[in-house]
Amino acid sequence: MPEDKARTEGGEDTGSPGPGDDDILEPLSEEDGAPDLREVAGHVQKAPPPEKEDARDAEAKDLSPGPPTVSLEKDDTPAPPAGDEEAPPEQEEGPETEAGEAPEAAAPSEDAAAGAAPPPQMVENLADDDLFVFLDYASEEDFVALRDGEGPRAAAPAKKGCLGKAVVLLLVLLLLGAGGFALWWFVLRDTGKPAATAPEEEEPTEEEILVRNTPERLRQRRASLRLETALKYGGTEASEEAVDSALGFLARTAGEDGRWDSKKHGSRENVDLAMTGLSLLAFAGAGQTAEVGDHRETVKKAVAFLISKQDPETGRIWEKGQGGYGVGYTHAICGMALAEVAALDRDEKTLEAARKAVDYAVNVHAYKDERTGERGGWRYNAGQKPDTSVTGWFVMQLKSAFEAGVDVPGEAMEGAVRFLERVRAKKKDEDGERLHLYGYDDPWEMNARRSAIGCLCRLYIDASPPELAGSAAWITEKRMPSWKKQDWYYWYYGMLLTFQVDRDRFLEWNEALRDLIVENQVQEGDLAGSWDPQGEFAKYGRLFSTTLATLCLEVYYRYAPVDRRTWEAVK
């Protein structure tokens, strides 16, 4: 096909059609050296649709990929069928006016001069992609200049609004980039990995429950620390095995309702509530609660049974028909047991029962001096003049409640001290210091058992271990443990006192008593894990001897030393 240009270099009319004619440009060939319009980047702008679709439109749609063809003459030949490979027909001369003369070139319109898109006839034979690229150029002159390699591509004016969209897009990209950088810097920088999803919350272990709920001074009761603490303070593996065996016996003999039947196990009178309280103390001493341990169901039933026997108004724990010298011992022992379990597992119902038991002890049962109105000390029944034995159990109840977080009025403890001072003996040591030795309800009935009880009360109220060390030495020298003269009540308080105030004295006492208890435990049969009732308190049966023996072997971890300097040499 002959090579023609639409305009001369000077821009004068050479007889070729102008921008206003109906003619279209001659096809571009590869020989022209013009750039492929597919490589030209530009914003897509749809061409205005032709007024009427004819065969030439179909031909344009079926063009195969390749160099675009642009004709400068009008093509009236019908388009060949799809797939026809014949050469395009020769192009005829342009149309003439009525007089047979060629029309004059129309002057460019203001829109064309301002960069409006060329008429549709100029792009009829372009493929779709080329058409889109071509439409980014404002006029025929720009297109021809581009085809002939003249003028920079950057000369194409930007479409209206394109710059604003580009700025917005740039800002969005910047924000996304900044967010990604912040995520990497604060989350992924150290690991180089995406942040791990939070694992599902696991159920706490028994150990974690006990640690979370147990006061600091009671945490050595944890199962993982029991043996370690026992070995540190004078226990043995054999003594710990004896504790486990005793708890097994108590678990086997508990009733379905949570009580222990005292008469069934050799007691001469009904002391079921007191024996249930002592059994619960033995379980709590080894860290067994309603939530933690091998005997949680036993503990849970026992707690429920004691609460069921508590007066909802006064807080008294009692049941008609109970022996044991009245309400005092029973209430104090059961209240102490509820407080220790509450201190371990923080159950609100148990804690509330322990709180009510404190209210009864302080406001109802304590002795009240009619002359002064002061309360202080406890005995068998409410309001009676106090004695050292019952007062000891009430002081331990209030001490355990305090450990559990229950408010304990200071006046109650002060009243206990006033009573103990009234029954304190005047005996002095070699240096002339008055010893802490106590009688029953007056100073003249002083003995080792009552003195051990009184000293422990003073330890938990107002006295320091050094103040009581001389008294503990006198007590233990007076009566060292002997299996022929069983006194579980004395042994229990003697173990607690010496452990707290005098390490050397305790180790001597412990050496004498620990192995006696372990060696005399029943090893076979239904009674395995228990101790035969003998001595002064045999009248309360096997449950009394078994619970008190177990509490003696738990002394190493049941209560942490009040003053750790007492044991500072022990590692």
Q: Is residue 178 part of a domain?
A: yes
Angle separating helix axes 272-285 and 327-345, nearest 10 degrees: 30
Same domain assignment for residues 132 and 30? yes
Distance CA 467, CA 458 (A): 10
User: What is the pLDDT, as a whole number, of residue 165?
Assistant: 75
Could you count the other beta carbons within 10 Å of the beta carbon of residue 142? 20
**C-beta separation of 27 from 87 below 8 A:** no
Same domain assignment for residues 182 and 63? no
**C-beta separation of 50 from 150 below 8 A:** no
Any residues with CB less than 8 A from the CB of 224 and at least 6 apart, and which? 207
Q: What tokens appear for 93 in the block?
A: 């001369």
Angle separating helix axes 388-403 and 348-360, nearest 10 degrees: 140
Same domain assignment for residues 16 and 152? yes
Cα torsion 21, 23, 29, 35: sign: positive
**C-beta separation of 230 from 236 below 8 A:** yes
Q: Which residue, among 280, 289, 277, 288, has the nearest Cα to 327 in the 3D structure? A: 277
DSSP line for 205-226: PHHHHHHHHS-GGGGGGSHHHH
Distance CA 271, CA 276 (A): 9
pLDDT tens per residue, range 383-431: 999 999 999 999 999 999 999 999 999 999 999 999 999 999 999 988 8
**C-beta separation of 468 from 501 below 8 A:** yes
Same domain assignment for residues 10 and 150? yes
User: What is the pLDDT, as a whole number, of residue 185?
Assistant: 66
Could you count the other beta carbons within 10 Å of the beta carbon of residue 3? 8
Same domain assignment for residues 136 and 166? no
Q: Is residue 408 part of a domain?
A: no
**C-beta separation of 331 from 360 below 8 A:** yes
User: What is the pLDDT, as a whole number, of residue 198?
Assistant: 57
340: amino acid identity, one letter: E
Q: Is residue 448 part of a domain?
A: no
Question: Model pTM greater than 0.85?
Answer: no
Could you count the other beta carbons within 10 Å of the beta carbon of residue 116? 13
Q: Is residue 21 part of a domain?
A: yes
Same domain assignment for residues 147 and 172? no
Q: Is residue 147 part of a domain?
A: yes
Q: Assign 3-state DSSP to the chain and report helix, strand, coil percentages, each to 5.
A: 50, 0, 45
Rounded to 5 degrees, what are φ and ψ at 375? -105, 145
Q: Is 403 left (phi over 0), alpha (psi -120 to 50) or beta?
A: alpha
Q: What tokens appear for 269 in the block?
A: 């009178």
373: amino acid identity, one letter: G
Q: Which residue, among 235, 501, 281, 300, has the nearest Cα to 399 in the 3D structure? A: 281
Same domain assignment for residues 66 and 166? no
User: What is the pLDDT, as a whole number, of residue 200?
Assistant: 67
Same domain assignment for residues 165 and 74? no
Distance CA 85, CA 187 (A): 64
Cα torsion 411, 417, 421, 422: sign: positive
Distance CA 468, CA 298 (A): 38
Distance of CA 425 to the CA centre of its chain: 56
User: What is the pLDDT, as a whole number, of residue 267?
Assistant: 97
Q: What tokens appear for 209 in the block?
A: 């429950």
Distance CA 400, CA 340 (A): 6
Q: Which domain holds residue 5?
A: 1-79+109-159
Rounded to 5 degrees, what are φ and ψ at 39? -90, -10
pLDDT tens per residue, range 108-158: 444 444 444 445 444 444 444 444 444 444 455 655 555 555 554 444 454
Same domain assignment for residues 166 and 154? no
Cα torsion 122, 127, 132, 133: sign: negative
Same domain assignment for residues 4 and 152? yes
Distance CA 493, CA 278 (A): 14
Q: Is residue 466 part of a domain?
A: no
Q: How far is CA 201 from CA 194, 198, 215, in A?
A: 20, 8, 25
Q: Is residue 293 part of a domain?
A: no
Distance CA 286, CA 16 (A): 113
**C-beta separation of 369 from 408 below 8 A:** no
Answer with the one of 151, 170, 194 that is the final residue of a domain: 194
Same domain assignment for residues 11 and 51? yes
Same domain assignment for residues 46 and 167? no
Any residues with CB less than 8 A from the CB of 526 and at least 6 apart, and which? 252
User: What is the pLDDT, as a whole number, of residue 550?
Assistant: 98
Q: Is residue 449 part of a domain?
A: no
**C-beta separation of 138 from 115 below 8 A:** yes
pLDDT mean values, one per 10 residues, the chain (571 residues): 40 42 42 43 44 46 45 46 44 42 46 46 45 48 58 48 73 79 64 55 72 75 87 96 98 97 96 98 94 92 98 96 93 98 92 98 94 91 96 97 93 95 93 93 94 96 92 88 92 96 92 95 97 94 98 95 73 43
**C-beta separation of 253 from 260 below 8 A:** yes
Answer with the one of 177, 194, 211 that is the final residue of a domain: 194
What is the count of structural domains for the chain? Answer: 2
User: What is the pLDDT, as a whole number, of residue 172?
Assistant: 82
Q: What tokens appear for 473 in the block?
A: 């030495």
